[in-house]
Structure 1
Amino acid sequence: MSATSSTPTPTPTSAPTSTSASYVPAGASGAAEPRARFRDLVAAEWIKLRSLRSTFIAYGATALAVLAFNGGTAYDTYNYWGMRDAADRAGFIEDGIALQHAFTVNGAMVMVLALGVMGALAVIGEYGTGTIRTTFAAVPARRSVMAAKAVVVAGITTVFGVFVAGASFALTQAILGARDVGVPIGHPGALTVVVASALLAPVCALAGLALGAVIRHTAATMTATVAVLVLLPLVFTDGRRWSAVISHALPTEAWIRLTEADHSRTAFPWTASGAWTVYAVWALAAAVLAVLSVHRRDQ
């Protein structure tokens, strides 16, 4: 009897189902990170600035120093008013001396120097500690970061300038008013003095920011800031035309032109619109220079 060997038939199994799910490394998100909005960058720069205790100390000390210089000059006039001759007392307001007391040259120089330094510190502080690399790693759009810095610096220094110029005008005219030689804000030229003095702060701060973004070293930046904002106006005078042209292109000389009562005594007089243009050009050029300087450099 022949036996037939039967081979068991294999039971069909279902083929493994392949999924098309892509592999995502741990810690990575499937969607691309959204780009930081500019207002978020501005908010971040504002947080950086106000989180430093030295910021409020520096601005507070500068405000007190400026008010002390201006108020001290007005009080000196009040105290020694009786020693002036009749002609000086009669022409005190007409000659614009009351407005010169509203914001003195000494007070302006203190603000120019202090605000230029504080504008520079807004950027060289990060370069000095190396945290600028962390900032650029988090936000690769370097120019946007620097533009946000410029916006914050311009904003806070404008508010500072408005406060100091307004407080100085109120203080000095109140002191002079005790001798009946104070002027109101509606007096011809008074508002110009206040606005020009207020806007001098952001112009100098942005200039310091630009120098800090380009030089990136504390000592060299401080030296350059003093040289550009304080020493250059002393080097170039109105004695010759070429020197007068350079002098008129400096922000401190523009402030003097806007606040000076008699500006026709110079050999090469210039217009108030030219002085306002100097303000605008310096602020815009400084902001552009600061933004462009970080395009390919982070150290």
Structure 2
Amino acid sequence: MTTLAPVHRTTPAARFDDLAAAEWIKTRSLRSTPWVIGLTVLFVIGSAAAAALADKEAGSGADFLAYDAYPPAGYWTLILVAATMGALTVVSEYGSGLIRTTTAAVPARGSVVLAKAAVTAALWTVVGTVAALGSFLVSQAVLDGRHAGVPITHPGVFRALAASALLAPVCAVVGLGLGVLLRHAAGTVVTGVFVLLMLPTMFSESNRWSADLKHALVSSAWHRLVQSWEPDPDSLAYTATVPGCWLVYALWPLVTIALAVLVVRRRDV
């Protein structure tokens, strides 16, 4: 009598697109997500309209991009919301215990983090693009009434538009990475607010070391990229370079996600 050897069935590893699809379902299943995104976009665009309406000196040398199309108040709010929502995509799972189910179903924890980052970046790129384009169009519609508007082909407009559109996904992915590292909602939000919004105000551009630290932060890089004027070569301030600002945009999300993947592979949950 022949004895058949037992057949060992192995579950195929989850593909990355499956993980991304699962993360997208988690994101859009939250009822608060569309409301938060919608209100944030409306506030950002509304702040641009309000800034353009309040600018009595439009067309007389004022930097229309930094102060009218992309006012700091609106984009600081976008930074805060994007970073917070990015963090909540992961800390909410730690808080509810769902992360244990996720890691049990998909032992490749690094792939889960990367899938979350991909979905978060894609979603907030769309949000940032809508907010940035809406801000520009609304502010220029107001300024056109004073014959102070500029076309989208005006020098510096596309750079400011791209920088403002990418600000949201950069901050959202940074928030997600901090969420993986800290695993606590309040701690992650406070850390994100401090690093992305408060820390740049602690440094000036009058000293080289202070300017270098300031220029290495995301909000400072964004502010330089939306400026339509070139720095005064006779100024005593150390001004960030445009390529350096784009490098800051790239390094912050890459470094935080790389650290998150490294850490999540080494700890239990």
Aligned to 2:257: 287
CA contact (8 A) 1:98 1:182 kept: no
Separation in 2 of the partners of 1:212 and 1:221? 6
- Offset at residue 100 of structure 1 (A): 3.1
Separation in 2 of the partners of 1:165 and 1:114? 15
- Offset at residue 40 of structure 1 (A): 0.5
Aligned to 2:3: 20
Q: Deviations over 1:55-111 (max 9, x none)?
A: 11111121111112111111223xxx4xxxxxx56624xx43356311111111111
CA contact (8 A) 1:133 1:298 kept: no
Separation in 2 of the partners of 1:238 and 1:184? 32
Helix, strand or coil: the match of 1:294? helix
Separation in 1 of the partners of 2:127 and 2:58? 33
Matched, 1:31 2:14: no
Work out which of the residue numbers 265, 270, 273 in structure 1 matches 2:243: 273
- Offset at residue 247 of structure 1 (A): 0.1
Helix, strand or coil: the match of 2:266? coil
TM-score normalised per structure 2: 0.94
CA contact (8 A) 1:98 1:181 kept: no
Structure-to-structure mapping, 1:113-132, within 5 angstroms: 113-132=80-99
**Aligned Cα RMSD in Å?**
1.6
Separation in 2 of the partners of 1:124 and 1:271? 35
Count of aligned pairs between the two proteins: 266
Separation in 2 of the partners of 1:19 and 1:291? 49
Separation in 2 of the partners of 1:160 and 1:21? 58
Aligned to 1:195: 162
Instruction: Determine which structure has more spread, i.e. the larger CA radius of gyration.
Output: 1
Identity over aligned pairs, percent: 46
Helix, strand or coil: the match of 1:269? coil
Aligned to 1:224: 191
Work out which of the residue numbers 42, 45, 54 in structure 2 matches 1:76: 54
TM-score normalised per structure 1: 0.85
Matched, 1:91 2:60: yes
CA contact (8 A) 1:255 1:275 kept: yes
Work out which of the residue numbers 161, 167, 172 in structure 1 matches 2:139: 172
Separation in 2 of the partners of 1:226 and 1:127? 20
Structure 1 unaligned residues grouped into runs of 5+: 1-17, 25-29, 82-87
Separation in 2 of the partners of 1:99 and 1:182? 14
CA contact (8 A) 1:251 1:282 kept: yes
Separation in 1 of the partners of 2:108 and 2:53? 52
State the one-letter code of the partner of 2:20. Answer: V
Q: Could you say if the C-alpha distance between residues 194 and 266 of structure 1 is closer, same or farther in structure 2, counting changes exceeding 3 Å?
A: farther
Structure 2 unaligned residues grouped into runs of 5+: none
Work out which of the residue numbers 36, 52, 68 in structure 2 matches 1:101: 68
Q: Could you say if the C-alpha distance between residues 89 and 47 of structure 1 is closer, same or farther in structure 2, counting changes exceeding 3 Å?
A: closer
